[in-house]
Amino acid sequence: MLSQFEIKVSGRVQGVGFRAAARRQARSLRLKGWVENLANGSVRAVVSGDSEHCAHFIKWCREGSGYSWVERVDIKEMKPEHLNPFEIIY
């Protein structure tokens, strides 16, 4: 089943390789979408794909990358739409 989520991750998630690690994780799960830094210091990702793979990505976001420190994860389910292969938005 196809699912899509907007995920906002707060904590120490900028400048620590979080976006690159998120891209690797999403691509390994064959998810589509994107990840970007937000002005308030958090990171936002939109992922689309198999429901189970999305759930694994969300779990990964709660743990974060090696140098990150995740304080909060907000998740919003969205209506699935066509997205491109997962990329970092600069």
Distance CA 71, CA 84 (A): 29
Taking alpha carbons only, the member of 1, 6, 15 closest to residue 61 is 6
The total of structural domains in the chain comes to: 1
Nearest to 25 by CA among 40, 47, 51: 47
- Domain span holding position 40: 2-89
What is the reported pLDDT for 56? 98
CATH of the domain at 67: 3.30.70.100
Q: Does pTM top 0.75 for this prediction?
A: yes
Cβ-count burial 12-28 (b if 16+ within 10 Å, e if not): ebbebebbebbbebbee
pLDDT digits (tens, 9 = 90+) for 46-81: 999 999 999 999 999 999 998 999 999 999 999 999
By annotation, the residues acting in catalysis are 19, 37
